Amino acid sequence: MKRKQSIEQLPDSPIQEQLEAKVREMLGPDYTSAPPTLDKPAELQAAEDDQQVVAPETDQPEDRIAEDIEEPEDAATQRAVHEIELSESDRILEAEDKEIEAAFEPEKLSFGNRIKQFFSRWWRSPIKRNTTLAVVLFGLAAVAVVPAGRYFVLNTVGVRASSSMTVIDAASQQPIKNATVAIMGVSGQTDSEGRVTLSSLRLGPADLTVNKRAYAQITKRITVGWGSNPLDSLQLVASGEQFTFVVTDYLSGKPVSDAEASVGGSDASADNEGRILLATEPGDDASEVTISAKNYRSEKVKLGDDIKAEVSVKMVPARKSVFVSKRNGKYDLYKIDVDGQNEKLVLAGSGVERSDMALVSHPTDEVVAFVSTRENIRNSDGYLLSTLTVVDLSNDSTQKAAQAERIEVLGWSGSKLYYVQTVAGASAGNPERQKIVSYDYKDSKSATITTANYFNDHVLVGDSLYYAASAAFNPDKAGLYKVGTSGSAQQLQPKEVYGIYRMAYDRLSFVTDNNAWYETVLGQSSSSKLTGVPANPVLRVYTDSPDGSKSVWVDQRDGKGVLLSYNKASKEDTIIQNLGGLRGPVRWLSDKVLVYRIADGSEIADYAFNIEGGEPKKIRDVTLTNGAGD
């Protein structure tokens, strides 16, 4: 749409600039920027300004008068201006037209709106709608009626399934581990229970194959459906020779149901009766079979010519028993298996040791703390100093943790060993004569917990240390304190405490300077006063099992030593041994096997015992040593 517009209706600045440029182009260098007169001759404009214009009297016609008026000299300029006005007017009107068109242009649709618009058009079209519904119904019918079609459709849209199964030995009915199971290119190996689960399987008919060394391969046609597809047990038949082993515990005689036998690339697991049926490939070197089980020493079994006979195997705890013996004239440190095999000298004696030695085993690690004067080092007064040595039984390496006039081991908590050290060369009046120290055997670092002139008593319970500092030379430090894993001391009793007694697994009793008795529950930060003196106050030394479910302690009753097991869940004690001369220290070798000491005048020896049954078995004659807190 084009319209004409007068110069007065146009913006002044852009038109004026273009006007001058156009005139300058047409008139050349003679152009002057003075604005031209567009409507009237100069003489008439001047006469009107002076208001003195008078029309002459003449009898000539008006058109004749107009002819007599000459065209102004700048007529060309006026024509140029007029052309520019028209051109600029058209340009502005064109821009306005575009703005109007843009204002009425439909808004662009978003992706969601386009989708809605598509389905709206689809739904309004009966042909499109009916055709689509027919195709969908046909596809559903094919899926429901024709299995091949169903699997094709489901596989196409990405539906996948899984399948689980158990592989067992056809003869022993025991699970077979490390058998390879494959379905449609997806494979996996069975675990110790013979189980395996294969995921991301395409649906439909497929071949399942099972392979295991020394067994015949099986192939089975299955159909993988939608879901988990649990299958029945798959039984493998041995393709080579088979050997039978019956595995039992050395101490209790009970079956070891988690035992395994292996030779070359073949292996087999025990049943609930400890029986293992091991299949081998022809040509395997079956002269030596390895029998293994958790927490037991591995056994090597040599087979004879009669491969059909059952072979009995007795399993011995893997952890070593450790003891001191003077049978060679010196206090030597040994380690040994509980069946008396593999005895080895770990630390030879020097011949200058005093008899007040201590040997404290770590509850779970193959590490022991050994206190002796074997280094023959004396202070300035000639007093023989004790050395605390940490021994790693796995490689027989040693660490020198401390040396002092006296060292008393309190026990282990994690990787830290706690002990009381009497400072070498310090006088009796030193307010810091004794100190309680922790030593971490993993990084060989020591840390002082607290100091006093003397500690009246101290007990390590789990990861909490209870100590009673004397008032000598520092009365402000007297009282009962507890130090936990944070390392900060918490006072439980401000009065001086003379004795601490662990009379129950979860409680401590203590007596103050005025013979008043108090009790504190382990884990709490307060104490309560008792109404009287407890009956037969003694310190029980509890030793927790590696799994933490139970703890053993030794009591003296009717002249005999009684070994009791405390069940943490039921909070009940059970007597497991009642023998003359039975005493500590007691050490766990596993959750079932422990070692205790007999000293009855006829012998001093260590015995191994399985709490599940069987008779105790003597390990070795030993020399008396102290335990934790002795």
Burial environment of residue 308 by CB neighbours within 10 A (0 to 12, 13 to 18, 19 or more): exposed
Listed in sequence order, the residues at least 6 apart from 39 whose beta carbon sits closer than 8 Å to its beta carbon are none
Per the CB < 8 A criterion, the answer to whether 382 and 402 are in contact is: no
Per the CB < 8 A criterion, the answer to whether 467 and 450 are in contact is: yes
What pLDDT is attached to residue 502? Answer: 93
Closest by CA position to 261, among listed 339, 309, 213, 313: 313
Nearest 5°: phi and psi at 11?
Answer: -60, 140
Q: How many CA atoms does the CB half-sphere of 328 hold within 13 Å? A: 12
Contacts by 153-159, CB closer than 8 A, 24 or more apart: 154/203, 154/226, 155/202, 155/203, 155/204, 159/203, 159/226
Instruction: Give the model confidence (pLDDT) of 124-147 as tens digits.
Output: 777 766 777 776 666 666 555 556
What pLDDT is attached to residue 264? Answer: 81
Residue with tokens 């004397």: 470
- How many other β-carbons are positioned within 10 Å of the β-carbon of residue 124? 9
Q: Using 50, 70 and 90 to split pLDDT, how confident is the model at 407?
A: very high
Closest by CA position to 201, among listed 166, 164, 176: 164
Instruction: Give the model confidence (pLDDT) of 504-519 as tens digits.
Output: 999 999 999 888 999 9
- Give the strand order in the sheet containing 528-529: 497-504, 507-512, 517-521, 528-529
Q: Using 50, 70 and 90 to split pLDDT, how confident is the model at 14?
A: low
- Whole-number mean pLDDT of the chain? 83
Which domains does the chain possess? 7-52+59-103 (no CATH), 161-236 (2.60.40.1120), 242-315 (2.60.40.1120), 543-630 (2.40.128)
Q: What single string gives the DSSP state of each residue in 504-529?
A: ETTEEEEEETTS-EEEEETT-S--EE
Calculate the dihedral angle through the C-alpha atoms of 88, 90, 96, 97, rounding to the nearest 10 degrees: -160
Convert 69-101 into a string of H (helix), E (strand) and C (coil).
CCCCCCHHHHHHHHHHHHHHHHHHHHHHHHHHH
Q: Examine residue 317 and say whether the peptide bond preceding it is cis (omega within 30 degrees of 0).
A: no
Listed in sequence order, the residues at least 6 apart from 127 whose beta carbon sits closer than 8 Å to its beta carbon are none
Encode burial over 540-563: b for 16+ CB neighbours within 10 A, e otherwise: bbbbbbeeeebbbbbeeeeeebbb
What pLDDT is attached to residue 597? Answer: 96
Instruction: Give the model confidence (pLDDT) of 524-554 as tens digits.
Output: 888 899 988 888 888 899 999 999 999 999 9
Is the confidence at residue 44, as pLDDT, over 70? no
Instruction: Give the model confidence (pLDDT) of 340-397 as tens digits.
Output: 999 999 999 999 999 889 999 999 999 999 999 999 998 888 889 999 999 999 999 9
Element holding 14 (H helix, E strand): helix 12-27
Closest by CA position to 66, among listed 49, 41, 46, 47: 41
Amino acid at 171: A
* Cα 125–Cα 127–Cα 128 angle in degrees, nearest 5: 70
The residues with which 180 forms a beta bridge, in sequence order, are 189, 211
Q: What is the CA 105 to chain-centroid distance, rounded?
A: 62
Instruction: Give the model confidence (pLDDT) of 274-286 as tens digits.
Output: 999 888 877 665 5
Q: Using 50, 70 and 90 to split pLDDT, how confident is the model at 116?
A: confident
Q: How many CA atoms does the CB half-sphere of 167 hold within 13 Å? A: 30
Mean pLDDT, residues 476-504 taken together: 89
What pLDDT is attached to residue 61? Answer: 47
First to last CA, the chain: 115
Closest by CA position to 333, among listed 349, 320, 352: 349
Mean pLDDT, residues 76-98 taken together: 67
Instruction: Give the model confidence (pLDDT) of 279-333 as tens digits.
Output: 887 766 557 899 999 999 999 988 766 666 789 999 999 999 999 999 999 999 9
Contacts by 421-429, CB closer than 8 A, 24 or more apart: 424/379, 424/385, 425/379, 425/380, 425/381, 428/453, 429/453, 429/473
What pLDDT is attached to residue 55? Answer: 43
Comparing 303 with 456, the larger pLDDT belongs to 456
Q: Using 50, 70 and 90 to split pLDDT, how confident is the model at 581?
A: very high
Listed in sequence order, the residues at least 6 apart from 510 whose beta carbon sits closer than 8 Å to its beta carbon are 457, 468, 480, 493, 497, 499, 500, 501, 517, 518, 519, 520, 527
What pLDDT is attached to residue 358? Answer: 95
What pLDDT is attached to residue 145? Answer: 56
Helix (H, G, I), strand (E, B) or coil at 604: strand
What pLDDT is attached to residue 96? Answer: 63
What pLDDT is attached to residue 487? Answer: 76
Flag whether the pTM goes above 0.75: no
Is the confidence at residue 220, as pLDDT, over 70? yes
Is the confidence at residue 615, as pLDDT, over 80? yes
* Cα 535–Cα 539–Cα 545 angle in degrees, nearest 5: 125
Per the CB < 8 A criterion, the answer to whether 333 and 391 are in contact is: yes
Per the CB < 8 A criterion, the answer to whether 331 and 353 are in contact is: yes
Q: What percent of the chain has pLDDT over 90?
A: 50
Per the CB < 8 A criterion, the answer to whether 373 and 386 are in contact is: yes
Radius of gyration of the CA atoms of the chain, in A: 52
Amino acid at 297: R
Q: Which of 8-22, 49-63, 373-387 has the lowest mean pLDDT?
A: 49-63
Element holding 27 (H helix, E strand): helix 12-27
Q: Using 50, 70 and 90 to split pLDDT, how confident is the model at 7?
A: very low
The residues with which 381 forms a beta bridge, in sequence order, are none
Helices 147-156 and 126-145 pack at an angle, to 10 degrees, of 120
- How many other β-carbons are positioned within 10 Å of the β-carbon of residue 153? 16
Q: How far apart are CA 571 and CA 153, in angstroms?
A: 62
Q: Using 50, 70 and 90 to split pLDDT, how confident is the model at 240?
A: confident
What pLDDT is attached to residue 133? Answer: 73
Instruction: Give the model confidence (pLDDT) of 409-452 as tens digits.
Output: 999 999 999 999 998 665 677 888 999 999 999 999 999 999 99
Which pair of structure tokens corresponds to residue 298? 């591995």
Q: How far apart are CA 144 and CA 49, in angstroms?
A: 105
Listed in sequence order, the residues at least 6 apart from 283 whose beta carbon sits closer than 8 Å to its beta carbon are none
What pLDDT is attached to residue 155? Answer: 73
Is the confidence at residue 499, as pLDDT, over 50? yes
Q: How far apart are CA 583 and CA 599, in angstroms?
A: 7
Q: How many CA atoms does the CB half-sphere of 569 hold within 13 Å? A: 3
Considering Cα of 166, then 168, then 173, then 174, what sign does the dihedral take? negative
Q: How far apart are CA 592 and CA 552, in angstroms?
A: 11
Q: How far apart are CA 327 and CA 622, in angstroms?
A: 9
Q: What percent of the chain has pLDDT over 70?
A: 77
Q: How far apart are CA 480 and CA 532, in angstroms?
A: 19
